[in-house]
Amino acid sequence: MDARLTEIVKEQPCALVFVTISGAHLYGFPSPDSDYDLRGVHILPPREVLGLDPGRDTIEIARDEPGLELDLVTHDAAKFFALMLKRNGYVLEQLYSPLVLHTTPAHAELKSIGARCITKHHAHHYLGFSDTQWKLFEKESPRRVKPLLYVYRVLLTGIHLMRTGRIEANLRILNEIFALPNIESLIQRKLAGPEQSTLDDADFEFHRSAYAKLVAELETASAQSDLPDAPTAKPALNDLLLRLRLG
């Protein structure tokens, strides 16, 4: 990772619970020109929570420097915790990302609490996102590797989550479990850069069949999952939020 990333994190105006790397770097297939997607949680000071002029519950920063393009998005703890209680796979992937730029004891506590936010209904998040990416892939000409890799990534993440209750967003690690053909060759094409990042139309039917099979597999995994129907973490999240606010 570029050392400038940690310096940019240090410049943020609010205290941070954590900052991790998401996007293609987390998913295991960054291109040579991929930007960095940094995600995290900040803590608004009491005056910006209690006063008439509320602080920013989302802070977004973009940088485009020679050799380094990034966007950093952090949510205030209250907003992030509320998202954790919904069927939002994105925030859980950010929370559990192993690519950590900034961490605290509260981050470790939040990861422990996060397990009680996972429900069988998170399958809907992954089904919805895979549908969006598949439609993007389907209508393109020429068709790009990137949205197809996202299709595979989210479906495998969702199936794995339904079966194990654990978040895994790295496609290469997931494919060590699922052993799907062509995944590694697709990743290699994405890593090689734009000149090899499109697919021949002859490959379309193969991937459409694989997509339909994985959608059905995720639906079945959700129906058979032992995960709960609703999160149970609200009291613990509320307690953590109060302690973060009160310092």
Spatial distance between the Cα atoms of 186 and 24, rounded to a whole number of angstroms: 14
pLDDT of the residue at 190: 85
Q: How many residues does the chain have?
A: 247
pLDDT at 19: 98
* Mean pLDDT in residue range 34-40: 95
Q: Give residue 25's pLDDT.
A: 95
Query: Residue 195: pLDDT above 60?
Result: no
Q: 3-class SS at 48? A: helix
Tokens of 149: 């890799």
- Nearest Cα neighbor of 24 from 88, 73, 92, 70 is 70
Q: Residue 69: beta bridge partners?
A: 64
Given a cut of 80, whether residue 197 has pLDDT beyond it is no
Does 52 score more than 90 pLDDT? Answer: no
82 has a pLDDT exceeding 70? yes
125 and 183 Cβ atoms separated by less than 8 Å: no
In order of start, what are the domains of the chain with their CATH numbers?
Answer: 4-118+231-246 (3.30.460.10), 122-224 (no CATH)
Average pLDDT over every residue of 150-179: 98
pLDDT tens sequence across 101-147: 999 999 999 999 999 999 999 999 999 999 999 999 999 988 999 99
The pTM of the full predicted model, rounded to 2 decimals, is 0.94
